[in-house]
Structures are given as C-alpha cells and as structure tokens.
C-alpha cells in the first residue's frame, strides 16, 4: 500500500495553509522542502526503484532541513513498505507528525505506527526466549565438559603408553660392540641329553628336573634379560644356549632353552 498517494494531497493543502498563516517553524514551507535538490533526487530514485539510494537522498535532505516533514514521511514510507525496517519507520512517522501535527491523515499514520510496532514485537518474539537460550547454553557447556573429559582420558592413556615404552627400552640390553665369532650349531654340555637318565633318589620329595631339559615359553612383554633373572642365570649363558634367537625380536609362544645355573 503506497500511503503517499493518500497523504500528499492533504499535506500539500495543509502546507499551503501554513504558508498563508505564517506558522511554518523555520520559515520554510513544505513546498519549498520538496524543491530541495536532495528531496527531488530521492523522489527520482524512488521512481527508479533505487530505494537505498532514495533513503540516502532523503536523509541528506534532512541534513539541510531537519524539520522537513515531507522528507520524514518519505523515509517512513520507504522503511515501512520497501526496506522492512519497522523501527526506523516508526521514528520517521512520529517525526512527520511532530513537524506536521495537523495533517488530516494523522489517524492513518498513527495506525501505521501501531502496525509497525506490532511487526517489531513479532520479530522480537521470534527470537529465542531467555529460558530456551539458557538451556542451549547449558547443553553446549555439557558437551564441552564431555569433550574435555575425553581429552583428559586420552592424555592419561598417552602417558601410560609412553611409560610402558620407556620401561621396555630400558630393559633391552645394550648392544655389545665386540664381535663374537658365531659357531654354527655349537655343542654345549647342557644341550646333550643323556641316553639313560640316572636313577632318581626314591627318598627325594621333589625329584630335580635335569637342567638340559628346562625350557621357557615367552609371554607378552618378556625379554631375555628378564628371563635370565627369573631362572637365576647369566644373560650370556641364556644367549649361548639359544644361539639362533634374536634377543631384540622375541615373540609370544617362542620356546627358549634354559641352561643350568
């Protein structure tokens, strides 16, 4: 709805009467306001549907004459109908009535002010309410706490694995720089199984197992050094008894021969 078509005839008549009566506040009639170059430029831009440019032109017209009711009315119509800024429309409608309070269309303008206020209230009601916003903040805070707990747990696991790796690296014996000649299939006394086992003492409660028969199955995390300590033997003796075993590549389930202490 273009209110200018309804307001302008009445506004022109009222302004003409104000000129005749000499009651214009600043001595300049509404007709003179509409002859102001920026006001004319604003009207041309409205006709060209350049509404943002028209707003700028009418605002410049108000800078020339802040009491221009015509410029306020044009701006109110633009913000009400073309740009959808009800707050600005209300302001300029009220300024229009302030500088032209006896306008015959004042009742219609007041109705437009009420409509703009209702639209502004509807826009505000569409925004999230305070309780809803508080619930959303609490939800985000809870998610943030859960994420922080997961990060802390990951840090603890990383520290645990780092400690385990450090312990494993410390338990591995340092490489011996001296070159020891390797003898293929060396014959060790501990590896020779007697053809006939000596008779066991019948009075012994726990008959001893011959040292040559002792073996050990590697479990998770074990090293040759740990196995040697377990059986009370030297690491070199264990390595000699198992010449084909790489001490740095033990695997679970591997069988090692345990020499006599």
Write down the domain spans for the chain.
4-126, 209-261
pLDDT at 107 over 60: yes
Banded pLDDT at 4 (limits 50, 70, 90): low
Q: Which of 46-50, 202-206, 227-231 has the lowest mean pLDDT?
A: 202-206
In the predicted model, is pLDDT for residue 187 greater than 90?
no
The superfamily CATH assigns to domain 209-261 is LysM domain (3.10.350.10)
In this predicted structure, the answer to whether residue 116 has a pLDDT above a threshold of 90 is yes
CATH for 4-126?
A: 1.25.40.10
Rounded-to-integer distance, Cα 172 and Cα 225, Å: 7
Q: Do domains 4-126 and 209-261 have the same CATH topology?
A: no
Please state whether the predicted TM-score (pTM) of the whole model is above 0.85. no
| pLDDT over threshold 70, residue 1 | no
Task: Give the model's pLDDT for residue 169.
Answer: 81
Q: Would residue 253 be called left, alpha or beta, if left means φ above 0 and alpha means ψ between -120 and 50 degrees?
A: left
pLDDT surpassing 90 at residue 78: yes
Q: Across residues 228-234, what is the average pLDDT?
A: 91
Q: At what angle do helices 69-77 and 86-99 cross, to 10 degrees?
A: 160
Share the mean pLDDT of the chain: 78
Mean pLDDT of 56-78: 94
Residue 172's contacts (CB-CB under 8 Å, 6 or more residues apart) are 223, 225, 247, 248
> What pLDDT is recorded for position 124?
74
Reported confidence tier of residue 249, pLDDT bands at 50, 70, 90: confident
* Inter-CA distances, 36 with 57, 58, 62, 97, 98, Å: 10, 10, 10, 20, 20
147 pLDDT exceeds 70?
yes
Question: Between 154 and 27, whose confidence is greater?
Answer: 154
């Amino acid at each position: 709805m273009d209110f200018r078509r309804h307001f302008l005839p009445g506004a022109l008549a009222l302004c003409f009467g104000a000129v005749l009566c000499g009651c214009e506040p600043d001595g300049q009639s509404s007709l003179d306001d509409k002859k102001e170059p920026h006001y004319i430029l604003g009207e041309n831009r409205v006709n060209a549907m350049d509404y943002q440019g028209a707003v700028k032109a009418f605002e410049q017209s108000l800078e020339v004459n802040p009491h221009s009711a015509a410029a306020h009315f044009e701006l109110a119509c633009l913000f009400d109908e073309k740009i959808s800024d009800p707050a600005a429309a209300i302001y300029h409608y009220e300024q229009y009535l302030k500088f032209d309070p006896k306008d015959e269309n004042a009742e219609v303008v007041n109705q437009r002010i009420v409509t703009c206020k209702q639209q502004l209230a509807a826009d505000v009601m569409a925004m999230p309410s305070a309780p809803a916003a508080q619930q959303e903040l609490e939800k985000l805070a809870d998610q943030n706490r859960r994420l922080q707990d997961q990060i802390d747990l990951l840090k603890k696991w990383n520290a645990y694995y780092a400690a385990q790796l450090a312990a494993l690296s410390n338990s591995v014996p340092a490489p011996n720089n001296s070159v020891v000649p390797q003898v293929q299939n060396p014959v060790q006394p501990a590896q020779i199984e007697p053809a006939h086992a000596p008779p066991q003492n019948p009075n012994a409660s726990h008959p001893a197992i011959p040292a040559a028969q002792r073996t050990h199955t590697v479990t998770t995390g074990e090293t040759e050094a740990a196995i040697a300590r377990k059986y009370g033997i030297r690491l070199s003796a264990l390595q000699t008894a198992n010449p084909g075993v790489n001490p740095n590549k033990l695997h679970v389930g591997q069988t090692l021969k345990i020499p006599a202490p």
